[in-house]
Structure 1
Amino acid sequence: MILAENLTKRYGDKTAVDDISFTVPTGKVTGFLGPNGAGKSTTMRMIVGLDRPTAGSVTVGGHDYRTSRSPLTEVGVLLDAKAVHTGRSARDHLRAMAATHGIPRSRVDEVIELTGIASVARKRAGKFSLGMGQRLGIAAALLGDPQTLILDEPVNGLDPEGVRWVRQFVRRQAAEGRTVLLSSHLMSEMAQTADHVIVLGRGRVLADAALPELVRAWTTSVVTVATPRPAELAQAISGPDIEITTHEPGRLRVTGLPAATIGDIAAEGGIPIHELTPTSGSLEDAYLALTEQSVEYKTKELA
């Protein structure tokens, strides 16, 4: 478990992380989201002792990570896949890390096979593509078979097979009782991977909830209805807090009313229905609604 309490980090007059508290539980994949500049990277660096908090505290497994006598076996970290000796081969890089903790060479071979880099294990890491560099970084994080995994953008540069592998792997790790904190800007992938989500914006916690709860709270379900008598149906289902729009002839988009109720009302009025399709909001919709006022670098919408 990762526990942050009133965690704050300032750089001069800039507050990167502003008095945040959260818990990353064991047995779940916790998604860590936020716009660029939200404070995610700074928070992860404080968790593993690379940055010292200005105030507050953060513990991993009940203690400060910096006091760990065997950090690789407690926490596996991927913050920067490029943080390798570019002149070493992938295997030598992992062997050097393993030697610092007395990890056997057989474990190096295991993580090389596990992450799919066996064919390039003897090549210099400096020659790796972005995707292969990510796989090497994940291999390094797994080297000590840790109880906690902290992965920052682990699917960056991976092909679809690699993305799916990471998704399945981290979910399996959580199912085995490990703590998994996963940061990504890919909302569609996070929606398939995370059980719980923490969202930061301008250094503060904007949301901390189970993924389905977050989506329900910050999105609106829409029902698409196709009928040859749209005006009649619209009149029949209209009411307070119900929004009805028409985007094309014979089709209505209805918010504020469940599909079953629309169908019942249409049946009672003898109005034929050719389509009745409910569409729930997505994690991306919820994320954009949450962070709308917290985006530091906002682009202009296209006309």
Structure 2
Amino acid sequence: MIEAESLTKRYGANTAVDSINFTVRPGRVTGFLGPNGAGKSTTMRMILGLDRPSSGVVRVNGKAYARHHAPLRQVGALLDAKAVHPGRSARNHLLAVAATHHIGAKRVDEVIGLTGLEPVARKRVGGFSLGMGQRLGLAVALLGDPATLILDEPVNGLDPEGVVWLRGLARRLALEGRTVFLSSHLMSEMAQTADHVIILGRGRIVADAPVSEIVARADGDSVQVRSPQVDHLTHLLQAEGATVSRVEADLVSVTNLGTSRIAEIAAAAGVVVYELTPIARSLEEAYIALTRDEVEYRTTQTSPEVNR
């Protein structure tokens, strides 16, 4: 479990993390989201004792990370997969890390197998692709068989098979009762992996809730309605408080009114309906809506047209 209380980090006049409170619980995958500059990496570094909070506290499995006698057995972390001596082989790197916690070679070989590193285990890390480097970083994180895992952009560089593998691994570890805390910019992947999300914006928590709740409470779920009598139907729906916008000549998008009620109104008025399709918002759409005012960098111009 990870617990943050009034966690704050200032760099001079800049407040990177602003008195945040959250709990990452075991038994589920918790996603950590936010625009660039939101404070995600700073928060993760404070959890792992790499940055000292300006105020507030953060505990991992009941105590500060630095107070754990054998932290690798408590917390497995992947923050920078490139932090490896390029002249070492993957296996020798893992053996060196394992030696700091009296972890045997048997466990090293287990995590090599678990992360799919067997074909390159004895090759120098300096020649690794980004994806293989990520797998090595994950192997280090898993080495101590920890109760808590903190993974920053773990799918970065992985091929599609690797992304599916990591998704399954994260969910399996959570089902074992571990705490799994991971960040990603891939909303579609987070939607398939995380049970719960914490969203930061400009150093403050914007949302802290299950994925299903984040999506459900976001404004904008709509219903697509196609009808040859679309103008008449539009007036009927607007009279019921719906917001209706034209998509095509015979197709409208309706919000603030459910599918069943739309069908009832159309049937009562004798209006023919060819299509009635509910369109639920995705996690990506909900995230964009929640962080619209929190982004540090914003595009102000559209791309120029390409001359053909």
User: For residue 18 of structure 1, what is the amino acid of its counterpart?
Assistant: D
User: For residue 8 of structure 2, what is the amino acid of its counterpart?
Assistant: T
User: For residue 280 of structure 2, what is the amino acid of its counterpart?
Assistant: S
Q: Which deviates the most, 213-222 or 91-100?
A: 213-222
Equivalent position of 1:112 in the other structure: 112
Equivalent position of 2:252 in the other structure: 252
Q: Which deviates the most, 267-276 or 123-132?
A: 267-276
Aligned-pair distance for 1:300? 2.6
User: For residue 81 of structure 1, what is the amino acid of its counterpart?
Assistant: A
C-alpha distance in 2 between matches for 1:298 and 1:230: 37
Matches within 5 A, 1:224-263: 224-239=224-239, 241-263=241-263
Aligned-pair distance for 1:228? 1.3
The answer (yes or no) to whether the contact 1:219–1:282 under 8 Å persists in 2 is no
Q: Deviations over 1:32-91 (max 9, x none)?
A: 000111110010010011111110000011111101111111000000010111110100
- Pair 1:154 & 2:154 matched: yes
C-alpha distance in 2 between matches for 1:39 and 1:241: 40
Secondary structure, in 3 states, of the residue corresponding to 2:233?
A: helix
Matches within 5 A, 1:29-178: 29-178=29-178
- Pair 1:217 & 2:217 matched: yes
Structure 1 stretches of 5 or more lacking a match? none
Aligned-pair distance for 1:294? 1.0
User: For residue 163 of structure 2, what is the amino acid of its counterpart?
Assistant: V
Equivalent position of 2:275 in the other structure: 275
Q: Which deviates the most, 229-238 or 51-60?
A: 229-238
Equivalent position of 2:204 in the other structure: 204
The answer (yes or no) to whether the contact 1:219–1:285 under 8 Å persists in 2 is no
C-alpha distance in 2 between matches for 1:173 and 1:255: 39
| Aligned positions, number | 303
- Pair 1:20 & 2:48 matched: no
Aligned-pair distance for 1:247? 1.6
Equivalent position of 1:7 in the other structure: 7
Q: Deviations over 1:102-152 (max 9, x none)?
A: 111111111111111110111111111111110110011000110000000
User: For residue 65 of structure 1, what is the amino acid of its counterpart?
Assistant: Y
Aligned-pair distance for 1:301? 4.9
User: For residue 216 of structure 2, what is the amino acid of its counterpart?
Assistant: R
User: For residue 9 of structure 1, what is the amino acid of its counterpart?
Assistant: K
C-alpha distance in 1 between matches for 2:242 and 2:274: 21
Aligned-pair distance for 1:157? 0.7
C-alpha distance in 1 between matches for 2:219 and 2:128: 41
Q: Deviations over 1:5-44 (max 9, x none)?
A: 0001111221111111100011111110001111100100
User: For residue 48 of structure 1, what is the amino acid of its counterpart?
Assistant: L
Secondary structure, in 3 states, of the residue corresponding to 2:139?
A: helix
- TM-score under structure 1 normalisation? 0.98
Cα root mean square deviation, aligned: 1.1
Secondary structure, in 3 states, of the residue corresponding to 2:296?
A: coil
Residues 101 and 47 of structure 1: is their aligned pair in 2 closer, same or farther, counting only changes over 3 Å? same
Secondary structure, in 3 states, of the residue corresponding to 1:156?
A: coil
- Pair 1:189 & 2:189 matched: yes
Structure 2 stretches of 5 or more lacking a match? 304-308
C-alpha distance in 2 between matches for 1:44 and 1:119: 32
User: For residue 45 of structure 2, what is the amino acid of its counterpart?
Assistant: R
C-alpha distance in 2 between matches for 1:13 and 1:271: 62
Secondary structure, in 3 states, of the residue corresponding to 1:238?
A: helix
User: For residue 120 of structure 1, what is the amino acid of its counterpart?
Assistant: V
Equivalent position of 1:179 in the other structure: 179
Equivalent position of 1:290 in the other structure: 290
